[in-house]
Amino acid sequence: MSDPLNVAQILVSIVLIVVILMQVRETGSGMFGSGQASFRTRRGLEKTLFQFTIILAFVFLLMSIISVRFT
């Protein structure tokens, strides 16, 4: 059971990395977007990517716990 779970966890981690890298910061010249000091609302695709990132992180966390529990 651990082999398919490990493969799925690797796939989820790759997708999570891609989704995080797709999130664009339009403003901010500092390192890691630290130049952005004002609050703004996420809309459209940016909001969808943000929510998808949270879901993927939660799925990755659950898969990690299950992987440790059953090995």
CA count, 13 A, side-chain hemisphere, 64: 8
58 compared with 70, residue with greater pLDDT: 58
Mean pLDDT of the 52-71 span:
92
3-state helix/strand/coil string of the chain = CHHHHHHHHHHHHHHHHHHHHHCCCCCCCCHHHCCCCCCCCCCCHHHHHHHHHHHHHHHHHHHHHHHHHCC
Q: Kindly list the domain boundaries of the chain, sorted by start residue.
A: 2-23+42-69
pLDDT confidence of residue 14: 96
10 vs 36: CA distance, rounded Å: 32
What pLDDT, in 10s, does the model give residues 5-54?
999 999 999 999 999 998 876 555 555 555 555 666 778 888 889 999 99
Name the pTM for this structure. Answer: 0.72
pLDDT confidence of residue 65: 93
pLDDT confidence of residue 1: 64
- Whether 49 and 15 have beta carbons less than 8 Å apart is answered as no
